[in-house]
Amino acid sequence: MADSPDLGVERTLVLLKPDAVARGLAGRIITRFEDAVLKIVGVKMAQLDAEFTRKHYFDLEERLGADIYNSTAKFMQTGPVIALVLEGVDAVAKVRQIIGATYPNLAAPGTVRGDYAHQTKASSEVSGKAVMNLVHASGNSDEAKYEVGLWFGEEEQFEYETLAEKLAY
């Protein structure tokens, strides 16, 4: 499907954050992506260090301030994450729709964050802790290209066709 740009096929990065891994939600979350005809073309588990966290969140401090960056970086280094490259038609937008709003209390029921994450923005601010919202997903196509390239080499991404693709496209 990667060779079908006319369909709007793209790749995006998804991270199942330390809270998703620790709570044993990885399978349930991945199932939602696969149910939406998003194909896993790369997967790995990793423990982030300070240097890689800075590369991944390279502009977070500039956009949202040092406090947000520091709490996010600290949280992302508390345990392993599962990194996925997902491929599909309008994959970036589709993933964002599946996971829901950044703040779990604003995420609609039926989304990953709406169903499984329950922290509010206010509780995060009061506690000084990062919002535990289970999933990171690329925000746009340019971000997706940067993040996929940061996390995965070409040799770690696979080309194959799923039955769902054959039926849907």
Instruction: Give tens-digit pLDDT for 103-156.
Output: 999 999 999 999 999 888 888 888 888 889 999 999 999 999 999 999 999 999
User: Rounded to whole angstroms, how far apart are CA atoms 6 and 146?
Assistant: 22
For tokens 């992506």, the residue is 33
Active site residues: 136
| Residue 148 pLDDT | 98
Q: Do the bridges between strand 39-46 and strand 81-89 make them parallel or antiparallel, or are there none, so unpaired? A: antiparallel
Sequence spans of domains, the chain = 5-151
- pTM: predicted TM-score of the whole model, two decimal places: 0.92
CA 100, distance to chain mean position in Å, is 11
Q: Does domain 5-151 have CATH number 3.40.50.300?
A: no
**Which residue carries 């044993």 as its tokens?**
24
